[in-house]
Amino acid sequence: MNNCGKIAIIGGGSWATALAKLVVKHEHHIGWYMRRDDRIAEFKRLGHNPAYLQAAHFDINEIEFSSDLNHIVCEYDTLVLVTPSPYLKNHLQKLTVPLHNKFIVSAIKGIVPDENLVVSEYFHQVWNVPYENIACVSGPSHAEEVALERLSYLTIGCADMEKAQAFANVISTEFIKTETSMDIVGIEYAGVLKNVYAIAAGICHGLKYGDNFQAVFLSNAIQEMNRFLTAVYPAQRNISDSVYLGDLLVTGYSNFSRNRTFGMMIGKGYSVKSAQIEMEMIAEGYFGTKCMREINCHVGVNMPILDAVYSILYEHNTPQKVIQTLTDNFR
């Protein structure tokens, strides 16, 4: 038994499935909240998620599935949240039980729309969860590769380092290496921004910019990220650590990256709406772009890449012209 107590997964997508696989391997029991009863029934019948990472098989006897969020929250001590950030508030609207005494682990690399808060800030301010009871898990970690047991590195951020280490121990395996950090808010903002930058990288690729330029682009993106993190949440951090730079690189370069794919379609001439319809998956960076732009209006950091992506996605300016102007700012 670990001092995370009983652990439940909240969410039914690819990253939720990959994390569930890690947790159940260590614990041999998890709770798992999924919104749809038909999806749960199919999962039980097949022994794998019917919609995501279908090669990842589970022992169904080790899982308590439920579409009742209140039941899962009551019965479990640690709640690992893995839902797309735009849907988080909708899921939590069903809750009638308190969260302040739970250990909340966010695996959401996004920002809560309307609130313009990263997940730890949202749970602290809206749900009265103490910061020492909130953690995040992040790093360069495409769900597909984690499920295939390819070597990956994850960082757990939490104000309480003992709790961070306790959860790190749960998900550590021979192919998952873990680090702990107290920079939870910085890690969360980095997770939001890297999705925005991945959209921009995809747009550039769609516009036929080459590898030489992509390297220059990501070099400028990490500098922009560092300026913002230093302004909003000064802390001892090394921006070249894998949880910052590494996550940006894999999201900006990899074909697994849905944000990069979304941007690539925009660069090739798709409208925002048609790209969203064709993808059928959430590109969190689309929502993150608007939220980060609104936050930065108050902070006032020089963020030309963020401004460029906002200009393309929300002001419907021509990608070719916007990116051409952006390149004049690079060095």
Domain shared by 194 and 286, yes or no: yes
Last residue of a domain, one of 146, 161, 182: 182
Domain shared by 174 and 205, yes or no: no
Residue 280 pLDDT more than 80?
A: no
Determine, yes or no, domain membership for 312: yes
Confidence at residue 331, expressed as pLDDT on a 0 to 100 scale: 84
Sign for the pseudo-dihedral over CA of 201, 135, 25, 9 = negative
Domain shared by 218 and 88, yes or no: no
**More confident call, 329 vs 139:** 139
Domain shared by 294 and 308, yes or no: yes
Determine, yes or no, domain membership for 125: yes
Q: Judge whether 108 and 84 are in contact, CB under 8 Å.
A: yes
What is the number of other CB atoms lying within 10 angstroms of the CB of residue 77?
15
Confidence of residue 2 (pLDDT cuts 50, 70, 90): low
Average pLDDT over the chain, rounded to an integer: 95
3-class SS of residue 68: coil
Determine, yes or no, domain membership for 1: no
Quick one: average pLDDT of 139-160? 94
Its domain, for residue 49, covers 7-182
Domain shared by 135 and 100, yes or no: yes
Residue among 169, 168, 73 nearest 129 (CA): 73
The DSSP letter of residue 244 is I
Residue 76 pLDDT more than 90?
A: yes
Q: How far is CA 129 from the centre of its chain?
A: 20
User: Residues 294, 297, 303, 308: what is their CA dihedral angle, to the nearest 10 degrees?
Assistant: 60
Confidence of residue 113 (pLDDT cuts 50, 70, 90): confident
Confidence of residue 81 (pLDDT cuts 50, 70, 90): very high
Determine, yes or no, domain membership for 213: yes
What is the rounded CA–CA span in Å between residue 213 and residue 220?
A: 11
Q: What percent of the chain has pLDDT over 70?
A: 99
Last residue of a domain, one of 159, 182, 205: 182
* Alpha carbon separation from 124 to 64, 131, 146, 291 (Å, rounded): 28, 6, 29, 19
Residue 271 pLDDT more than 50?
A: yes
Domain shared by 205 and 176, yes or no: no
Last residue of a domain, one of 182, 212, 228: 182
Domain shared by 133 and 210, yes or no: no
Determine, yes or no, domain membership for 260: yes
Quick one: average pLDDT of 79-95? 92
Residue 21's contacts (CB-CB under 8 Å, 6 or more residues apart) are 56, 58, 146, 147
Q: Judge whether 323 and 207 are in contact, CB under 8 Å.
A: yes
Please write down the long-range contacts of 73-76, taking CB distance under 8 Å and 24 or more positions apart: 73/8, 73/97, 73/99, 73/102, 75/6, 75/8, 75/31, 76/5, 76/6, 76/7, 76/8, 76/31, 76/102
* Alpha carbon separation from 195 to 143, 168, 192, 200 (Å, rounded): 15, 24, 6, 9
Quick one: average pLDDT of 133-156? 94
Judged on CB neighbours under 10 Å (0-12, 13-18, 19+), 39 is middle
Determine, yes or no, domain membership for 132: yes
**pTM score, whole prediction:** 0.94
Q: Provide the residue type at 151 as one letter.
A: L
* Alpha carbon separation from 212 to 209, 218, 226 (Å, rounded): 8, 10, 22
Domain shared by 235 and 203, yes or no: yes
Confidence at residue 1, expressed as pLDDT on a 0 to 100 scale: 42
Confidence of residue 228 (pLDDT cuts 50, 70, 90): very high
- The full DSSP string for 114-154 is TTTEEHHHHHHHHH---GGGEEEEESS--HHHHHTT--EEE
Domain shared by 27 and 161, yes or no: yes
What is the rounded CA–CA span in Å between residue 252 and residue 184?
A: 22
Overall domain count for the chain: 2
Residue among 213, 212, 218, 219 nearest 324 (CA): 213
Q: Judge whether 179 and 140 are in contact, CB under 8 Å.
A: no
CATH number of 39's domain: 3.40.50.720
Domain shared by 317 and 269, yes or no: yes
Determine, yes or no, domain membership for 2: no
**More confident call, 147 vs 226:** 226
Q: Judge whether 15 and 160 are in contact, CB under 8 Å.
A: no
Determine, yes or no, domain membership for 31: yes
CATH number of 247's domain: 1.10.1040.10
Residue 210 pLDDT more than 90?
A: yes
Domain shared by 171 and 296, yes or no: no
Domain shared by 23 and 160, yes or no: yes
What is the rounded CA–CA span in Å between residue 55 and residue 215?
A: 33
